[in-house]
Amino acid sequence: MFSIIFTLIFPINCATQIDIFIESQCPDTVRLFKRMKALLDYEQIYQYVEFNFIPFGKGNEKLVINQGYEFNCQHGNKECYGNLIDSCVLEQLDQIDQLRYLTCIHQEKQQNEELINLSLKKCVQNQECVYERSLKCALSKFGNYLQHKAAKYTLAQNLVEIPWININGQHIPEFDKKFKQNPLKAICEQIDCKTIKVNY
Ligand SMILES: *[C@@H]1O[C@H](CO)[C@@H](O)[C@H](O)[C@H]1NC(C)=O
């Protein structure tokens, strides 16, 4: 009821929300970020679109008493570590820097923990504090909580593949497919990109 009244009084255009479920060791996630790189040239798009990246993927979790959550990830422990680092970094960055970071880290080597640490350093280059905080976060209860949050949200989707894209809370296979092929184009079919000069 409240939301109906709210919408009547404030008919604002809320940003289109796009949830993107990803996984640190997944080749299709790498491919998606290669394509999403094009969005970095159009910061104005962030007026209309809000991305929510959820780094967990096809895994599961269990609560271990006094230890927090334990995770199982599709591509093993190294993936769990990569997802955890992603959760910790995303928490600290604004939207455009999140995409900068993700397009970077998914082009770097992530085959083991050491390489993930090195790639992290490279991808938050000018933000020494983000690097330090993310490593600390990865070892902390807060990091464990962030992954639990990502796991819970991911498990609620019944997703069949990664990446998995939702728009305004809904999974529309056609949009998912279009977005993976050409993110910029898929977005501009949703919002009015006319005020933004877009090349795709
Ligand atoms: C990566 O960083 C974490 C967090 O600081 C640390 O515990 C771990 O030893 C590092 N891994 C390697 C292989 O250097």
Comparing 7 with 15, the larger pLDDT belongs to 15
pLDDT for 137 beyond 80? yes
Residue nearest to atom 7 of ligand 1 (CA): 139
> What ligand 1 atom has the least distance to the C-alpha of 112?
13
In this prediction, residues 133-150 reach a mean pLDDT of 98
pLDDT (tens digit per residue) in 175-191: 999 999 999 999 998 88
Q: Which residue has the tokens 């019944």?
A: 158
Residue nearest to atom 6 of ligand 1 (CA): 135
Q: Which residue has the tokens 């990446």?
A: 163
**Is the Cβ atom of 131 under 6 angstroms away from ligand 1?**
no
pLDDT for 198 beyond 90? no
Residue 27 preceded by cis peptide, ω within 30? no
- Residue 128 — pLDDT band, cuts 50, 70, 90? confident
Phi, psi dihedral angles at 191 (to 5 degrees): -110, 170
pLDDT for 194 beyond 90? no
Domains of the chain by start residue, with CATH: 16-188 (3.40.30.10)
Of the listed ranges 40-44, 47-51, 63-67, 195-199, the one predicted with least confidence: 195-199
Distance 180 CA to ligand 1 centre (A): 33
**What are the Cα distances from residue 184, in Å, to 43, 44, 90, 106, 197?**
12, 12, 21, 19, 12
Integer-rounded Cα radius of gyration of the chain: 17
pLDDT for 33 beyond 70? yes
Element (H, E) at 122: helix 113-123
**Is the Cβ atom of 132 under 6 angstroms away from ligand 1?**
no
pLDDT for 50 beyond 90? yes
Distance 136 CA to ligand 1 centre (A): 10
Q: For residues 190 and 200, give the distance between their C-alpha atoms in angstroms, rounded to a whole number.
A: 15
pLDDT (tens digit per residue) in 64-78: 998 899 999 999 999
pLDDT for 12 beyond 70? no
Helices (H) and strands (E) in the chain, counts: 9, 5
Q: DSSP secondary-structure letter at 130?
A: H
Q: For residues 4 and 120, give the distance between their C-alpha atoms in angstroms, rounded to a whole number.
A: 44
pLDDT (tens digit per residue) in 95-126: 999 999 999 999 999 899 999 999 999 999 88
Distance 87 CA to ligand 1 centre (A): 16
> pTM to 2 decimals?
0.90
